[in-house]
Amino acid sequence: MACIRRKMKTIVFLHVLSTVVWCAPPRCDPEDDFLGRFCKEPVPEKPKCMDIMMSYCDDMSYTHTMFPNILGHRTREEAELGPEYLLLSVADTLLNGQCMPDVRLLGCSVLVPRCEKEKMLKPCRSTCEAVRRSCQHAFEGIDMAWPYFLDCDRFFVSDQEGCYDPLEDLRVTQEEAQASLDFVPQDHHTVIQFSYHSNSQMNSLLKKTAARCPDISTTYSIGRSVEGKDLLVIEFSNNPGVHELLEPEIKYIGNMHGNEVLGRQLLIYLAQYLCSEYQLGNHRIQTLINTTRIHILPSMNPDGYELAAAEVQGANDHENEEASYYNSWTLGRGNAQNIDLNRNFPDLTNIAYSRRRHSRFRSDHIPIPDSYWFGKVAPETYAVMKWLRSIPFVLSANFHGGELVVSYPFDLSKHPQGQKMFSPTPDEQVFKQIARTYANAHATMSGNNSESCGNFGGQGGIVNGAQWYSIAGGMQDFNYLHTNCFEVTVELGCDKFPAEEELYTGWQDNKEALLTFMESVHRGIKGVVTDVDGNGIKGARISIKGVRHDITTAENGDYWRLITAGTHILTASAPGYTKAMKKVRLPARMQKAGRVDFVLQKAVDKPDLEEDFNIPSMGTYERFDPYNHYERYVSEQNQNREERLEKPWWWSYFSRAHGSSPTWLLRTD
């Protein structure tokens, strides 16, 4: 600090006196080291071994160190004031105890290297590499780069060069602990820890799970929350990252309301379960993953969760029952802008209602009105909308808490003044079937169990959304009216933030329902629409006679249509082609989707205008956010956002660091 002040004075004096005042070189920065500057300063002759005496490094397996250390800090004070030591002192908090003490001890071995007989010993590269392999995900989980001073190639050496293992003592302790547990038989079942997970723990656990099952799993982010947290999805499929022809895609979304948390936890457990059971040879899980592409977003609102979890924790700490109850029902519901995400989607239901008397109107692929983009669009909502449009989802469930019921579209009442008014979609029978699939497979939802909390057991644990209470801008209505996806809202229980002890019961109650629901995506019919040369036709419409809701084909002409058993008349149509019609009888209790393909002939004549008008143009639909309103909104309304994105939440820990700020902790990828 003194040096910086002196430097500033120097600049002032330079103008007046034109003299150069030499400021003592700062300690070795990574960049300086890279440039070969400052690091090769002459040092006092013959450095000697001395006591470590640094509190966060006092449990090393040795007691003596030497300065300058491996990073070029010339004294203990210099090392103590650097951002490297600061990181080691807060890493336990930042990483939520993950990878501790391994990361800290590894850092100490560079900062206060072992000294023996007046000689410095360097730590082993193999140790560093092992820690990095198992701990990199923890840093990724909080969006932090792997610290430069733990670069295994740069600061660590090999056995041949006479290295020592800084984690040796730790390993001995762990082996002793393991040995005392050795009587426990090796259990080949999925081990899940039924506890709550912070955002960073969740993300790192998802990445770890995908790393454990790399052949069937991967993670990807669909965007970031207001506070810059990744909205992380874990995907399961026998070909992760790729849409396969005719393979249906399903999604699960949890924690849309940040204070409704059971769904979030269930989805974290589900991911671990799918990975382990697949590897253990569970036939049911293998079949599911080999035939389905599953996308799981455990938290759509990580910012809200953080707020809710902090409040519940605070209330529990004070043993204030009333506060706990009150808080868990209110704080953190919205995102960090206090937007309720389940009211923030474009209200297409109103548009559908206003046009429903038009004879040619179909309630599907309704474009987003331009006016929507002038309102407040939450980044979480935007991320999910883009996601919905990028993958041909067939079926979805969105998990909430506060009741015990599955609610299905429409969520908006068909009459503006109509409270509790039954407001069905053209696919009422299909939605009822989908909702029952979950409710019936749930342990208590559909029964008249007096112990269950809900009001809907008497009606099978399902309800039409608007009949329960009407909302506009909800996600399930948007799914149905804008995409091919059929989504329902699952209310998992009356307690929005249950006690940790209840998480295991929650999993037991829902496990079968979660699996059965995913399997049910293989109902109805599916097929491919091609031209006479066998090329798939993208965007062709599949209509069912009597149902004013079409499904469109995906990139390679494949489609999925959830329908109930019975006889249906199907039509496939696409601009520039003649229509094709098929009569299909779908038996009850079909285990697999019936396959119905269509081959469309090129229309020879000039297209019949009347005919073409019946096929609404997809042109308007394709223009998602046509004028980049959202992008503009983000940059204009929230200049801070970019700054915040550059500087993650943990940055404040380093704002008072002496010397240079540790920009090396910011990820550049």
Residues that bind Zn ion (CB under 5 A): 257, 260, 400
Q: Least distance from C-beta 224 to Zn ion, angstroms?
A: 21
Residue nearest Zn ion, Cβ-based = 400
Sign for the CA dihedral angle at 93, 98, 102, 107 comes to: negative
Q: Give the number of other CB atoms < 10 A from CB of residue 275.
A: 24
CB 124 → Zn ion: shortest distance, Å? 51
607 CB neighbour count, 10 Å cutoff: 14
Candidate list 140, 306, 491, 500, residue with the active-site label: 491
Cis peptide leading into residue 185 (ω within 30°): no
Give the span between the Cα atoms of 154 and 70, in whole angstroms.
10
Question: H or E element: which one contains 561?
Answer: strand 558-561
Residue placing its CB nearer to Zn ion in the complex, 293 or 400: 400
Residue 299 Cβ vs Zn ion, minimum distance, rounded to whole Å: 13
Q: How far is the CB of 634 from Zn ion (least distance, A)?
A: 25
Q: Which is nearer to Zn ion, 400 or 436 (CB)?
A: 400
What is the C-alpha radius of gyration for the chain, rounded to an integer number of angstroms?
30
Residue 626 to residue 628: CA distance in whole angstroms: 6
Q: Decide whether 296 or 537 has the Cβ nearer to Zn ion.
A: 296
CB of 420 to Zn ion, least distance (A): 18
Cβ distance to Zn ion smaller for residue 489 or 552? 489
Cβ neighbour number for residue 397 with a 10 Å cutoff: 26
Do the bridges between strand 547-552 and strand 541-544 make them parallel or antiparallel, or are there none, so unpaired? antiparallel
Question: Closest separation between CB of residue 301 and Zn ion, Å?
Answer: 10
The SS3 call for residue 280 is coil
Q: Is 16 helix (H, G, I), strand (E, B) or coil?
A: helix
CB of residue 389 to Zn ion, shortest distance in Å: 23
- Residue 277: both structure tokens together: 């059971």
Query: Can you state the angle between helices 102-111 and 125-141, rounded to 10 degrees?
Result: 120
Residues 426 and 550: beta-carbon distance below 8 Å: no
Integer Cα distance of 212 and 358 in angstroms: 54
Q: For Zn ion, give the closer residue by CB, 254 or 616.
A: 254
Distances (CA, A) of 64 to 26, 86, 109, 613: 25, 21, 11, 84
Report how far apart the first and last C-alpha atoms of the chain are (Å, whole number): 32
Query: In Å, how far are 274, 332, 660 from 261, measured between CA atoms?
Result: 20, 11, 40
Q: Which residues contact 93 (CB under 8 A, 6 or more apart)?
A: none
Least separation in angstroms between residue 568's CB and Zn ion is: 35
Following CA atoms 143, 229, 212, 178 in sequence, which dihedral angle do they give, to the nearest 10 degrees? 70
Lookup result for tokens 């004013």: 548
Smaller CB separation from Zn ion, 301 or 363: 301
Which CB atom, from 343 or from 579, has the smaller least distance to Zn ion?
343
Q: How many CA atoms lie within 13 A of 145 on its CB side?
A: 14
DSSP calls for 219-253: EEEEEE-TT--EEEEEEE-SSTT-PPTT--EEEEE
Residue 365 or 400: the one with the smaller Cβ distance to Zn ion is 400
Nearer to Zn ion, 257 or 549 (CB): 257
Minimal distance in Å, beta carbon 257 to Zn ion?
4
Give backbone dihedrals phi and psi of 395, rounded to 5 degrees, phi first. -140, 150
Task: For residues 392 and 561, give the distance between their C-alpha atoms in angstroms, rounded to a whole number.
Answer: 12
Residue 353 C-alpha from the chain's centroid:
34
Taking the complex as a whole, the smallest distance from the CB of residue 510 to Zn ion amounts, in Å, to: 16
Which is nearer to Zn ion, 329 or 353 (by Cβ)? 329
Q: Given strand 566-573, what is the order of strands in its sheet?
A: 547-552, 541-544, 566-573, 580-586
Known catalytic residue: 311?
A: no
Hey, which residues are catalytic here?
491
